[in-house]
Amino acid sequence: MKHLRRIFLRFYLLFANSKVEADLAREIGTHLALLEDEYLRRGMTPEEARRAARLAYGGVEQAKQLHRDERAFQELGQILQDTRYTLRQLCRSPGFALTAILMLALGIGGTTAIFSIVEGVLLRPLPFPDPDRLVVLGDVLEGSHCVSCAQSSVTAPDIRNYMRDTQTFSHLGGYRQRLFELSGTGSPAAVNATRMSGEVFAALGVPPLLGRTFTQQEDEEQQQVAVLSYGMWRSRFHGDPNVLGSKILLYRKPYTVIGVMPRDFEFPLNPGHVNQSELWLPLSLQPEEFMAGSAASWNSRMVGRLKPGITAEQAQSDAERVARETMRDSPAYMRSFRIHAVVTPLQEDTVAQARPLVRTLFFAVIVVLLIACANLAGLLLVRAIRRRREIAMRLALGARAATLLRQAIVESMILSIAGGAIGLALAAVALRLGVSLLPQTLPRINEIGLDWPVMLFALGLALLTGLLCGLAPAFAAIRTSVNEALKEGGRTVTSGGGHARLRSALVVAEIAVALTLLTASGLLLRSFEKMRDVKLGFRPDNTLAALYVLPQQQYRTQSAIDEFTKTLLNDLGQLPGVEAVGVTSFLPAAGNSWGISFTIEGYVPPKGAGLNMAAMSLLEGNPFEALGIRVLRGRIFTQSDNAGSQLVAVVNRKMAERYWPGQDPIGKRLRRGLPETSTPWMTVVGEVDDVKLGSPDAETIPQVYQPVTQTVASEGVFASVGELSATNGWIVLRSRMAPEQMEDTLRATVRKIDPQLPLYQLQTMEQAISKSEAPRRFNTVLISSLAIAAVLLSVLGIYGVIAFSVALREQEMAVRMALGCQRFGVILLILSSGASLAAVGCGLGLLGAVAASRLLRSFLFDVSPFDPSVLTLSAVAMLLLALAASALPARRASSMDPMRALRGE
Amino acid sequence: MPSKESIQLLQGTLDLIVLRTLATMGPQHAYQIATRLQQISDRLLNLNQGTLYPALVRLEQYGWIKGTWGRTESNREAKYYAITRAGQKALGEETQAWRRMSALVERLLLEEPQP
Contact criterion met (CB < 8 Å) for A30 and B51: no
Q: Where are the beta strands (DSSP E) in A427-552?
A: 543-549
How far apart are alpha carbons A804 and A375 in whole angstroms? Answer: 13
Name which of A581, A577, A578 is nearest A622 in CA terms.
Answer: A581
B30 vs A contacts (CB less than 8 Å): 27, 30-31
Res B92: pLDDT: 92
Res A496: pLDDT: 54
CB A124 within 8 A of CB A162: no
Name which of A280, A234, A284 is nearest A257 in CA terms.
Answer: A280
For the ranges A142-156, A182-196, A714-728, the maximum mean pLDDT occurs at A182-196
Res A441: pLDDT: 63
Res A684: pLDDT: 94
Average pLDDT over residues A533-556: 87
What are the backbone dihedrals phi and psi of residue A475, each rounded to the nearest 5 degrees, phi first? -70, -35
Q: For A89-98, A339-348, A435-444, which range has the lowest pLDDT when averaged over its residues?
A: A435-444
Average pLDDT over residues A94-98: 84
Res A207: pLDDT: 92
| Confidence label for A82 from pLDDT (cuts 50, 70 and 90) | confident
Q: How far is A78 from chain B (nearest CA, A)?
A: 19
Average pLDDT over residues A355-372: 81
Q: How far is A81 from chain B (nearest CA, A)?
A: 22
Q: How many residues in chain B?
A: 115
CB A368 within 8 A of CB A783: no
The residue ranges of every structural domain in chain B are: 13-110
Confirm or reject contact between B30 and chain A (CB < 8 A): yes
Average pLDDT over residues B1-17: 65
How far apart are alpha carbons B32 and A606 in whole angstroms? Answer: 111
Res A355: pLDDT: 80
The residues that bridge with A596 in the sheet, in sequence order, are A614
When CB atoms are compared, the residue of A30, A56, A66 closest to B54 is A66
When CB atoms are compared, the residue of B34, B50, B57 closest to A70 is B57
pLDDT surpassing 80 at residue B106: yes
Contact map slice: A 4-23 vs B, CB within 8 A:
5-6, 9-10, 23
Cis peptide leading into residue A268 (ω within 30°): yes
How far apart are alpha carbons A751 and B94 in whole angstroms? Answer: 94
Res A581: pLDDT: 93
**Residue of chain B whose Cα is closest to the Cα of A35:** B31
Q: For A382-396, A502-516, A748-762, B84-98, which range has the lowest pLDDT when averaged over its residues?
A: A382-396
Res A440: pLDDT: 61
Res A490: pLDDT: 47
CB A826 within 8 A of CB A896: no
pLDDT surpassing 60 at residue A823: yes
Q: For A658-667, A836-845, A893-902, B90-99, which range has the lowest pLDDT when averaged over its residues?
A: A893-902
Residue among A14, A64, A67, A68 with most chain B CBs within 10 A, to mutate: A67
C-alpha distances (whole Å) from A597 to each of A148, A296, A341 are: 15, 10, 20
pLDDT surpassing 80 at residue A700: yes
DSSP tag of A315: H
When CB atoms are compared, the residue of B50, B74, B78 closest to A58 is B50
What is the per-residue pLDDT across A447-490, written as a single tens digit (0 to 9) for each?
777 778 888 888 888 888 888 777 777 777 667 666 666 665 54
Name which of A251, A727, A204 is nearest A226 in CA terms.
Answer: A251
Q: How far is B24 from chain A (nearest CA, A)?
A: 21
Q: Secondary structure of A807-875 in the HEC alphabet? A: HHCHHHHHHHHHCCCCHHHHHHHHHHHHHHHHHHHHHHHHHHHHHHHHHHHHHCCCCCCCCHHHHHHHH
Q: Quick one: what percent of chain A has pLDDT higher than 90?
A: 20
**Residue of chain B whose Cα is closest to the Cα of A29:** B78
Res A804: pLDDT: 80
Res A703: pLDDT: 92
C-alpha distances (whole Å) from A610 to each of A141, A374, A665, A836, B38 are: 10, 54, 22, 57, 106
| Confidence label for A145 from pLDDT (cuts 50, 70 and 90) | low
Average pLDDT over residues A592-607: 79
For the ranges A122-126, A509-513, A662-666, A670-674, the maximum mean pLDDT occurs at A662-666
Average pLDDT over residues A591-605: 80
pLDDT surpassing 80 at residue A491: no
CB atoms within 10 A of CB A186: 11
Buried b (16+ CB within 10 A) or exposed e, A44-70: beeeebbebbeebbeeeeebbebbbeb
What is the per-residue pLDDT across B32-66, written as a single tens digit (0 to 9) for each?
888 888 888 776 666 777 778 888 888 888 889 99
CB A773 within 8 A of CB A695: yes
CB A408 within 8 A of CB A415: no
**Residue of chain B whose Cα is closest to the Cα of A12:** B61
Residue type, A417: I
Res B83: pLDDT: 92
Res B3: pLDDT: 44
CB A726 within 8 A of CB A706: no
Residues 6+ apart with CB under 8 A from A622: A580, A581, A582, A636
For the ranges A280-294, A498-512, A636-650, the maximum mean pLDDT occurs at A636-650
Name which of A673, A682, A689 is nearest A706 in CA terms.
Answer: A682
What is the per-residue pLDDT across A422-448, written as a single tens digit (0 to 9) for each?
988 988 888 887 776 666 666 776 677
What is the per-residue pLDDT across A291-317, written as a single tens digit (0 to 9) for each?
766 677 788 899 999 999 999 899 999
Q: For A145-159, A301-315, A385-399, A819-833, which range has the lowest pLDDT when averaged over its residues?
A: A145-159
Q: Quick one: what percent of chain A has pLDDT higher than 70?
A: 92
CATH second-level architecture of B13-110? Orthogonal Bundle (1.10)
Average pLDDT over residues B15-25: 89
Cβ neighbourhood burial of A375 (10 Å; 0-12, 13-18, 19+): buried
Average pLDDT over residues A206-214: 92
pLDDT surpassing 70 at residue A842: yes
How far apart are alpha carbons B104 and A619 in whole angstroms? Answer: 105
Residue type, A468: L
pLDDT surpassing 90 at residue A686: yes
pLDDT surpassing 50 at residue A651: yes
pLDDT surpassing 60 at residue A492: no
Q: Where are the beta strands (DSSP E) in A103-186?
A: 134-141, 169-183
Average pLDDT over residues A523-533: 84
Residue type, A353: Q
Res A272: pLDDT: 62
Res A337: pLDDT: 72
C-alpha distances (whole Å) from A149 to each of A141, A319, A348 are: 9, 19, 15
Res A94: pLDDT: 85
SS3 state of residue A615: strand
Please give the torsion angle defined by the CA atoms of residues A24, A25, A27 and A31, in that order, rounded to the nearest 10 degrees. 130
How far apart are alpha carbons A221 and A373 in whole angstroms? Answer: 64
When CB atoms are compared, the residue of B50, B86, B90 closest to A62 is B50
Q: Could you tell me the pTM of the whole model?
A: 0.68
Q: For A45-54, A797-806, B50-59, which range has the lowest pLDDT when averaged over its residues?
A: A797-806
Contact criterion met (CB < 8 Å) for B76 and A34: yes
Contact criterion met (CB < 8 Å) for A30 and B86: no
Q: For A379-393, A671-685, A743-757, B78-92, which range has the lowest pLDDT when averaged over its residues?
A: A379-393
Res A148: pLDDT: 47
Q: Where are the beta strands (DSSP E) in A73-221?
A: 134-141, 169-183, 189-196, 210-211
Average pLDDT over residues A746-754: 91
DSSP tag of A879: H
Q: Quick one: what percent of chain B has pLDDT higher than 90?
A: 14
Average pLDDT over residues A561-584: 92
Res A608: pLDDT: 63
Instruction: Please provide the average confidence, as pLDDT, over all residues in chain A.
Output: 84
Confirm or reject contact between A31 and chain B (CB < 8 A): yes
B87 vs A contacts (CB less than 8 Å): none
C-alpha distances (whole Å) from B63 to each of A1, A5, A790, B83 are: 10, 8, 58, 9
What is the per-residue pLDDT across A253-305, written as a single tens digit (0 to 9) for each?
899 999 999 988 888 887 765 667 889 999 988 887 777 666 777 888 999 99
Q: Where are the beta strands (DSSP E) in A673-820?
A: 682-688, 703-707, 728-735, 760-764
Confirm or reject contact between B33 and chain A (CB < 8 A): no
| First CA to last CA distance, chain A | 64
A24 vs B contacts (CB less than 8 Å): 53
Res A172: pLDDT: 93
pLDDT surpassing 90 at residue A338: no
Res A384: pLDDT: 76
Q: For A153-162, A501-510, B93-102, which range has the lowest pLDDT when averaged over its residues?
A: A501-510
Name which of A140, A294, A141, A145 is nearest A612 in CA terms.
Answer: A145
C-alpha distances (whole Å) from A707 to each of A629, A649, A690, A693 are: 16, 8, 18, 18
A60 vs B contacts (CB less than 8 Å): 50
Res A814: pLDDT: 82
Residues 6+ apart with CB under 8 A from B107: none
Long-range contacts of A68-74 (CB under 8 A, 24+ apart): A69/B54, A70/B53, A70/B54, A70/B57, A70/B58, A71/A9, A71/A10, A71/A13, A71/A20, A71/B57, A71/B61, A72/A10, A72/A11, A72/A13, A72/A14, A72/A17, A73/A10, A73/A11, A73/A14
pLDDT surpassing 70 at residue A1: no
Which pairing describes strands B28-29 and A728-735: parallel, antiparallel, or unpaired? unpaired
